[in-house]
Amino acid sequence: MAVHNAEIAEIFGRLAELLEIQGANPFRIRAYRKAAQTIEGLSHSVTSMVTEGADLSKLPGIGKDLASKIQEIVETGHLSLLDQVSSQLPGQLAELAKIPTLGPKRVKMLYDTLGIQDLKGLAKAAQAGQIRQLHGFGKKIEEKILAETDRRSTSEKRIKLHTAEEFAEPILEFLKGIHGVQEAIVAGSYRRKKDTIGDLDILVSCQNGKPIMDRFVAYDEVKTVVSKGHTRATVVLQSDLQVDLRVVPEESYGAALQYFTGSKAHNIAVRSLAIKKGLKINEYGVFRGETRIAGRTEKEVYAQVGLPYVEPELRENWGEVEAGLHHALPKLVTINDIRGDLHVHSKASDGHFSIRDMALAAQEKGYEYLAICDHSQRVTIAHGLDATRLAAQIKEIDRLNHTFKGFTILKGAEVDILEDGLLDLSDDLLQRLDLTVCAIHYKFNLPRAKQTERIIRAMDNPYFSILAHPTGRMLNEREPYEIDMEQIMAAALERGCYLEVNAQPVRLDLTDLHCKMAKDIGVKVAISTDAHRTTDLDFMRFGIGQARRGWLESGDILNTSSLNALKKKLIRS
């Protein structure tokens, strides 16, 4: 059974949390965390690398010891060291350490003093007012913990789109290899490119479903077969991800694909149009009375109700049906429209490759430009650049640009927005850059009005270009900080600034709704990968998906511009 990158990363991440709770060596903890980030960010399967005999120690941040542990996970499905540490620290302590306001040290205190091992115990202690009595906690922290435990206990378990991809694509490849399968696709929120996925809905077109179902339930990652019939089966994978498979005949495939792609609200709106025309739409086709008049393709399903084809990312009932009726659907941005990446890191800060390596990787993608935006000095944990080091980097980029033809490295920096709204580097230095991506990396808990004011004040600086990962959220890990996004976008438009769609799968920030808000307000965005390694440049596709969900077209995106046009747009008036 293949072990996926996300599962290896989860093991190393869990081990790091538990070791920190134990008070282990900080360098050892950091090594496991970096290994988790490296593995999760890889665009190729570690299991395949092990099978092919690749030297894992050549991966960024992976030495011989970590390489042997990765091999153990791939070959056995678990890590003996994690088993050993887990036996010493029972319960869900690693999960508790990820809760905002807690962290490993506070989790250890809760475990030592109150015996709290899991989310249920944490909620019970918070409800009883026990947590506020502990040193370093207090009433406000207890209230935040209680709110977070309530949210986690009631919210549906969802995984990041990037993680879902690791499971979905091998299953699709497996199904397409079965004799008789004509088409196979993952529908649902996965096809609509939502940032998180609850489960996988797969549609297969074939004439005889039984052999398909027999092979599907025997897939080597299946843990539990929930149900199995001739046209539908549901299984749960070893990772606890549920997968539903439906087999439909070719003449109904388009109707089924439209129906199971959803969303529910979109489908209701489309069915309402059908009813007005005396038609009925379901997963089997479009019917007038008992006669099926369409259903082989999605395009013909939409045509029957007077709509053009609606791209999957738009199907949320956010106005796409009305826009379709008025021939006003957007021509969504595609990855082929992107001319460069405006936010990547090198090993000068917390990246893993040289500037030249990152530039060569960008060239291979056909890009015209790439902006190196290493962290500024305040982010010491990321080895942020002070004035001297950034000045040296500017000279290095100038030198490298003389070696390239038809490609330009842009001089940038990821500049911290300080608590008072000032930027982390002097104007004298900032004016030597082609652009800045400015970000909040601390003081996430400021009140909404103060956080908003902080960002707008930073935008007042004439060398502020792009607001990086604007809400600070980390999917399934950290909630966004409180800001008035509409006010920030209006301020950006007025000042000639831009907002980022950060394509890192754990961020996808701006959200889809904020992308649509940006379009409505008229402020342009940059889709950037925030790449820390060459393979991270592939994350652009996730940013594109997010932008498409927000109705963004090529003209709404800063980095669809040619280099000359981009430079003009980056000049503040």
DSSP assignment of 65-115 equals HHHHHHHHHHHHSS-HHHHHHHHHS-SSHHHHTTSTT--HHHHHHHHHHH-
Cα–Cα nearest to 316, from 261, 360, 381, 396: 261
Establish how many alpha carbons lie within 13 A of residue 15's alpha carbon, considering only the half-sphere containing its beta carbon: 27
The reported pLDDT for the residue numbered 89 is 77
pTM for the predicted model, two decimal places: 0.86
Q: What is the mean pLDDT of residues 245-266?
A: 96
> How many Å apart are CA 438 and CA 157, to the nearest integer?
32
DSSP for residue 523: -
Q: Evaluate whether 159 touches 237 at the Cβ level (below 8 Å).
A: no
pLDDT of residue 470: 97
The percentage of the chain sitting over the pLDDT mark of 90, rounded to a whole number, equals: 73
Domains of the chain plus CATH, in order, are 5-154 (1.10.150.110), 156-248 (3.30.460.10), 254-329 (3.30.210.10), 335-569 (3.20.20.140)
- CA gap 465, 385 in Å, rounded: 18
| Amino acid letter, 352 | H
Q: Is the dihedral of CA 70, 75, 79, 81 positive or negative?
A: negative
Q: Is the dihedral of CA 108, 41, 530, 483 positive or negative?
A: negative
Q: Which residue did the predictor score with more confidence, 556 or 75? A: 556
Q: Which residue has the higher pLDDT, 415 or 106?
A: 415
Position 466 scores a pLDDT of 98
User: 156: pLDDT confidence band, cut at 50, 70 and 90?
Assistant: low
Pairing label, strands 183-186, 291-294: unpaired
Cα→Cα distances 70→75, 236, 533, Å: 9, 25, 19
Q: Looking at the predicted structure, is the pLDDT value of residue 2 above 80?
A: no
pLDDT per residue as tens digits for the range 64-75: 999 999 999 999
Closest-CA residue to 114 (of 97, 98, 132, 100):
132
Q: What is the DSSP string of 18-68?
A: HHHHHT--HHHHHHHHHHHHHHHH-SS-HHHHHHTT--GGGSTT--HHHHH
